[in-house]
Structure 1
Amino acid sequence: MNSEIKLRKAEIKDRDIIWNIIQQAIERRRQDGSTQWQDGYPNLGTVESDITKGFGYVLTVDDEIAVYTALILNDEPAYSTIEGAWLSDGEFVVVHRVAVDEKFAGQGLAKKLFDHIEDFTREQGIQSVKVDTNYDNIAMLKILENKGYSYCGEVFLAGGMRKAFEKIII
């Protein structure tokens, strides 16, 4: 049976579900031996702030929240300094805080999320998508490679160096 997969803005009523998904992701990163997300960020305040500012998005499968992400337009101060070079200096969508509900793990939904983010970027008439991840987040690094993102260098974010990627959409 084909499920209906949609990207929509997160609402404040989604907060507890989203926070639960992020807590699962924090624990998965810890079990993987990663340093990412192990210092109290992201937290419930991060989620509330994302939703309030209109940055929070959820990928739903048959109206059930499966993936959370923050999509921020043109605004990531850390990205103004990169050891390396971005592909472009036009408008961009920043992808932060991707977390998949473990109930939906292994179904390729993070890849589908990036398809939806690219559609969203195109619809907004925005040039590119920029994203960073921890050097030890193997799953995300694989997705970015699979989706055709170019490694651009390193940015300093959340207290550490991150690998930075960009994909030109239009």
Structure 2
Amino acid sequence: MNYNFRKATLKDANIIWTILEQAINRRKQDGSEQWQDGYPNISVVKNDLQKEAGYVLTDNDLIIGYASIVFNDEPAYSELNGTWLTTGHFAVLHRLALSEDSLGKGLAKKIMLYAEEVAAANNIFSIKVDTNFDNIPMLKIFEKLGYIYCGEVEFRGSKRKAFEKVLTPIA
């Protein structure tokens, strides 16, 4: 396997949307309420790409995963019912999804680790994330990677579990 994590471009939008549609269907099949309200959608993807916040995981140039990484820009996080570990600059990872053929290979964890590298490369040493209460696979990944539960945030009328990981600056 020859994995690469790179910024996505507008020409990647349709492939990214296909991957997200697969993830939306998986969440539904798992009985989850997450992503069952018309979000995310292709407009969200295109907005990510226009803001240069979209990233893809590739295997030999084939796009197999997607995530959005933004810096200091998640209004819902200011309304946390709980306490963040830090109050300074932070990165946010949203919309992590993998293609059907890429499941069960530890690639969601790999995307999370790449996101940590992107944050650190931008001198950001805090990553904040959230997921639905019933997204067990994502909750397990957060736990494995040392993310700390900080409380609840609300998106589109639904509560989400919020986590933060403080990164160690590389000397």
For the aligned pair, the TM-score class normalised by the smaller chain equals over 0.9
* 2-structure distance, mates of 1:48, 1:82: 27
* 2:33 counterpart letter in structure 1: T
Tell me the TM-score normalised to structure 1 length.
0.97
One-letter code of the match for 1:27? N
Instruction: Choose which of 22, 33, 48 in structure 1 pairs with 2:46.
Output: 48
Tell me, which stretches of 5 or more residues in structure 1 are unaligned? none
How far residue 159 of structure 1 moved from its aligned partner, in angstroms, is 2.1
The aligned runs of 1:158-169 (5 Å cut-off) are: 158-169=156-167
Deviation at 1:63, TM superposition (A): 1.3
1:47 counterpart letter in structure 2: V
* Deviation for aligned residue 1:127: 1.9
Could you tell me how far 1:158 is from its partner in structure 2?
2.6
Select the residue among 52, 61, 66 that pairs with 1:63: 61
Whole-Å Cα distance in 1 between the matches of residues 88 and 59 of structure 2? Answer: 32
SS for the counterpart of 2:97 is: strand
Amino acid at match of 2:82: G
**Partners of 1:53 and 1:122 in 2: how far apart?**
19
Distance of 2:83 and 2:36 partners within structure 1: 28
Gaps of 5+ in 2: none
Q: Could you tell me the TM-score, scaled by structure 2's length?
A: 0.96
CA RMSD of aligned residues (A): 0.7
Aligned to 1:23: 21
SS of the equivalent of 2:12 reads: helix
SS of structure 1 residue aligned to 2:84: coil
Q: Percent identity?
A: 54
CA distance in 2, matches of 1:148, 1:32: 25
Aligned partner (choices 66, 89, 98) of residue 100 of structure 1: 98
Q: Structure 1 CA distance, aligned partners of 2:70 and 2:78?
A: 15
- CA distances 1:46-99 after superposition (whole Å, capped 9, x unpaired): 011110111111011121111101101000000001111000011110000011
